[in-house]
Amino acid sequence: MAREIDLLERQKRLAWYLIVPAVFVVFLVIGYPLIQVLVYSFMKYKLDGVTPPSFAGIDNYLFIFSDSDFWHAVWITLIFTFFSVTIESVLGLTVALVANSKFKGRTFLRVAILIPWAIPTVVSSQIWRWMFNDIYGVVNVILANLHIIPHKLAWLATPATALPVIIAVDVWKTTPFMSLLLLAGLQLIPADLYEAASIDGATGIRKFFSVTLPLVTPTLLVALIFRTLDALRVFDIFYIMVGGQGNMATVAVYNQQQLIAFLDAGVGSATSVVILIFIMIFVVLYTRFSKTSFE
């Protein structure tokens, strides 16, 4: 008994020896910049090389919350997140169900659906920007030739058309990610359950709602949180397709404008902290909702 206790203690010490270096590295990579951003958020800090840094208290936060551009960016971010994540979840589950079926060419389909996700976001966004160009874009040419639109449209010039286009591009880009995660969850469902349901006379729709959907829900919730966190901090696709326009800026684009365009490290850091707090609130609420759903 004493020997087992001694072995357990040595294993605990070994675990600490292995964890401490990793924690130290994580602190250097994440902790130090996070503390630095938090400190800068309470300072008046211009990157113009002229204005000396000074303590500003909560002035940066007051400026953000009183800025109509910030709240417009929040609204754009929420709209984008809701529609893109919802559509991607539905399409991802549909594609995963098809890819999980047994048919000839299933392997080719599984590889093909990953192609949009494998293309870097910068590349795919630029390609779609050219395709939706109001002068030589192929989308305008096709729709005009089919008489779906009366004339060529400047799709990315106004939020009324630019936001749906960006959501559609993001759905095309990220649906494979959702389908890949959901396909992994579908493959964990035992085939015996479907056989038992068939014996009981269940139809395909009944199998989906009684067997597939309940068992794939944990995987779906994990995919949702990953995708939602990614959507809440979206930057690249908006910045590339609409060039950081004020009426189409997300919270991340607003942050970039304050830090890079206006050279205001104080407001930029405060915006980063606000984004972090929003994401933490979402994670806490999501976690509580998930626990409630499974209890």
Q: Which residues of 158-169 are buried (b: 16+ CB within 10 A; e: fewer)?
A: ebeebbebbbeb
Picking from 35, 128, 74, the residue whose alpha carbon sits closest to that of residue 255 is 74
Domains held by the chain: number:
1
pTM to 2 decimal places: 0.84
Picking from 121, 123, 132, 128, the residue whose alpha carbon sits closest to that of residue 174 is 121
Q: Which residues of 127-136 are buried (b: 16+ CB within 10 A; e: fewer)?
A: ebbebbbeee
Residue 56, in any domain of the structure: no
Residue 43, in any domain of the structure: no
For 3, the token pair is 């020997």
Residue 55, in any domain of the structure: no
pLDDT for the residue numbered 217: 85
How would you classify the pairing of strands 54-55 and 43-44?
A: antiparallel
> DSSP secondary-structure letter at 280?
H
Distances (CA, A) of 170 to 80, 84, 88, 96, 100: 9, 7, 9, 18, 24
Q: Which residues of 81-106 are buried (b: 16+ CB within 10 A; e: fewer)?
A: bebbbebbbebbbebbbebbeeeeee
Residue 193, in any domain of the structure: yes
pLDDT for the residue numbered 4: 64
Work out the burial of residue 193: count CB atoms within 10 Å of its CB; fewer than 13 is exposed, 13-18 middle, 19 or more buried. middle
For 198, the token pair is 């068939």
For 258, the token pair is 């304050």
C-alpha span between 132 and 153 (Å, rounded):
9
Residue 42, in any domain of the structure: no
Q: Tens place of pLDDT for every residue, the chain, 295 residues?
A: 556 666 777 778 888 888 888 888 888 888 888 888 899 999 898 887 777 888 888 999 999 999 999 999 999 999 999 999 999 999 999 988 888 887 777 778 778 888 888 888 889 999 999 999 888 888 888 888 888 888 888 888 888 889 999 999 999 999 998 998 898 888 888 888 777 878 777 777 887 888 888 888 888 888 888 898 889 889 989 999 888 776 888 999 999 888 888 888 899 999 999 998 888 888 888 877 766 555 5
Residue 40, in any domain of the structure: no
Picking from 93, 86, 290, 85, the residue whose alpha carbon sits closest to that of residue 184 is 93
Residue 139, CB-side half-sphere exposure with 13 Å CA sphere: 14
Q: Which domain holds residue 225?
A: 67-294
Residue 37, in any domain of the structure: no
Angle formed at CA 283 by CA 258 and CA 238, multiple of 5 degrees: 35
Q: List the CATH number of the domain containing 257.
A: 1.10.3720.10
> DSSP secondary-structure letter at 43?
E
Residue 207, in any domain of the structure: yes
